[in-house]
Amino acid sequence: MVTPSLVLFYLAGVLTLGGALGVVMSRNIVYASLGLIVALLGVAGVFLLAFAEFLALVQVFIYGGAIVIVIVFALMLTRLEDFRGLSDHKQWPLAALAAMAIFGVLAAAIARTAVSTQERAEVGFTVLGERLFTDWAVPFEVVSLVLLVALIGAVVMVRPTGDRN
């Protein structure tokens, strides 16, 4: 039986896959970023269907807005001469084979997983905030420390070497 939520799920899936293909297959980076926005909006639609409004808002605002804008600004500020010598990598057949193998493993895992038929329930922002900062406070802080270490590592990696006198 085809329900409206199933139709919306398929629509969000088509948006996500279409946007992802646009990102991967586009030779123009601006079109690739537009495809990324479409893919992220499709994922936000899946979150909405799962009654995860907070994650959908985060997906749209942070990923769909801020990250894509940062990518576009970084490209606008990059010199074109840095890209003149780029060409396709010679190991693309190996990468394509690895991608197909990963796709096969994921497809087999999805095919063998039973579908949950329990009733969906909405979780409000208040309950989510209380659970996030009471039950999950320590993992939340550990993730923030890991991100801080990654940020410091990125700064250390890109700084120029030599004396700073």
- Of 20, 50, 78, the domain-final residue: 78
C-alpha pair distances (Å), 113 with each of 109, 110, 123: 6, 5, 25
Q: Where are the beta strands (DSSP E) in the chain?
A: none
Which amino acid would we find at residue 35? Answer: G
Q: Are 71 and 11 in the same domain? A: yes
Note whether residue 131 is domain-resident.
Answer: yes
Q: How many domains does the chain have?
A: 2
pLDDT of residue 140: 79
pLDDT of residue 79: 66
- Of 78, 100, 115, the domain-final residue: 78
Note whether residue 16 is domain-resident.
Answer: yes
Contact at 8 Å (CB) between 39 and 19?
yes
Which amino acid would we find at residue 140? Answer: F
Q: Is 160 helix (H, G, I), strand (E, B) or coil?
A: coil
pLDDT, one tens digit for every residue, the chain (165 residues)? 788 888 999 999 999 999 999 988 887 878 888 898 999 999 999 999 988 888 888 888 888 777 777 777 777 766 666 666 666 678 888 988 999 999 999 999 989 988 777 777 777 778 878 887 888 888 878 888 988 888 888 777 777 665 554
- Which parts of 77-124 fold into alpha helices (H)? 92-112
pLDDT of residue 73: 75
pLDDT of residue 82: 63
Tell me, rounded to whole angstroms, the distance of Cα 132 from its chain centroid: 21
Q: In sequence order, which residues have a C-beta less than 8 Å from that of residue 121 and are 6 or more positions away?
A: 51
Q: What is the residue range of 30's domain? A: 1-78
- Of 53, 78, 103, the domain-final residue: 78
Note whether residue 142 is domain-resident.
Answer: yes
Note whether residue 91 is domain-resident.
Answer: no
Note whether residue 119 is domain-resident.
Answer: no
The pTM of this model reads 0.61
Note whether residue 96 is domain-resident.
Answer: no
Written as six digits, the tokens of 162 are: 């030599």
Written as six digits, the tokens of 17 are: 């896959």
pLDDT of residue 97: 94
Q: Are 10 and 66 in the same domain? A: yes
Q: Are 1 and 72 in the same domain? A: yes
pLDDT of residue 12: 94
pLDDT of residue 11: 94
Which amino acid would we find at residue 130? Answer: E
pLDDT of residue 100: 95
pLDDT of residue 80: 66
